[in-house]
Amino acid sequence: MNSIVVIGSVNLDLVATVKKLPEPGETVTDAVLNRFPGGKGANQALAAQQLGAAVKLVACVGDDAAADEALALLRAGDVDLSGVQTIAGSPTGTAMIAVAPSGENHIVVAPGANRDLTPDRLVVPAADALICQLEVPADSVSKAAQEFEGYFCVNLAPAMHVDVSVLQRADLIIVNEIEAAWYGDSLLAANGMIATTVGAAGATITKNGDDIAFAKPPRIEAVDTTAAGDTFTAALTVALVEGREPQQALEFACAAGAAACTKLGAQPSLPTRNVVLSLL
């Protein structure tokens, strides 16, 4: 079994299921409210664990009741939480999410303790692979990229400035179409693979400007697309670290991402390996 470290965010997701997503300035009522464990880092950690890796999460949570709620499914899923620090006086990260009947969403994140995962607090463990995203300080992602010696994947979500050394160091960069447009030509600095997802239209992998793989997800009835990108990120990393060819790994990741859209909530929707294999 391969070992994967995820350095990233933990959030409690407050999810309002609505008949339509609000326009700016519009009030939408009659929502149904749920609370789910989320956060891109935590979602990627649990997804990778359920897909067959031994995962350790490095993160910060607040000293509040939300922390236990946010970590509950990671704990139940046997993710190693010994790298999760509790920060006195900080609130656990919270995401406010509206989900439409089409499965599309709007997400607003209040990072809280995720901002406290600063380089001075970050110890980078050894493992076969490391996954980072951008819901923790960019300086910490730079430090992780510099110190880690194994396979390094960075999911550039949400889009924000990262040091060019992170792009140069990454074996695998993952972006959706919005993030790809935001980064534009700066992604030309990448030396490794770049996987770009375009929702139901599929995903590509390029290397040095050449397309090396393309896959489409299986058709599913979308209920909630939250965490589809996190599941894709975890699945692609797991498959590549297992030594699969990029084409086969991309098909696995697209199926995993699709599976995560079939249930409400981030972590309750993360598929097991068997579920993904049944969709291929």
The residue among 111 and 246 lying less far from ligand RIB, judged by its C-beta, is 111
Q: How far is the CB of 228 from ligand RIB (least distance, A)?
A: 8
DSSP H/E element including 98: strand 93-99
Residues of this chain that bind ligand RIB (CB under 6 A):
9, 11, 13, 38-40, 43, 95, 107, 109, 135, 226-227, 229-230, 266
> Taken in order 181, 185, 187, 188, is the CA torsion positive or negative?
positive
Residue 44 CB, nearest approach to ligand RIB (Å): 9
- Distance between the two ends of the chain, CA-based, in angstroms? 22
**CA quadruple 158, 69, 1, 199: dihedral sign:** negative
Residue closer to ligand RIB by CB (options 21, 107) is: 107
Residue 68 is a catalytic residue: no
Catalytic residue among 13, 171, 224, 230: 230
Least distance from C-beta 149 to ligand RIB, angstroms?
A: 27
Minimum distance from CB of 237 to ligand RIB (Å)?
A: 15
Characterize the bridge pairing of strands 151-155 and 172-176.
parallel
Q: What is the distance between the alpha carbons of residues 203 and 111, in angstroms, rounded to a whole number?
A: 29
Is the CB of 182 or the CB of 214 nearer to ligand RIB? 182
How many angstroms separate the CA atoms of 213 and 205, rounded?
5
Structure tokens, 203? 């995903």
Q: What are phi and psi of 129, to 5 degrees?
A: -145, 155
Nearer to ligand RIB by Cβ, of 105 and 246: the residue is: 105
- For ligand RIB, the nearest residue by Cβ is 38
Positions marked catalytic? 230
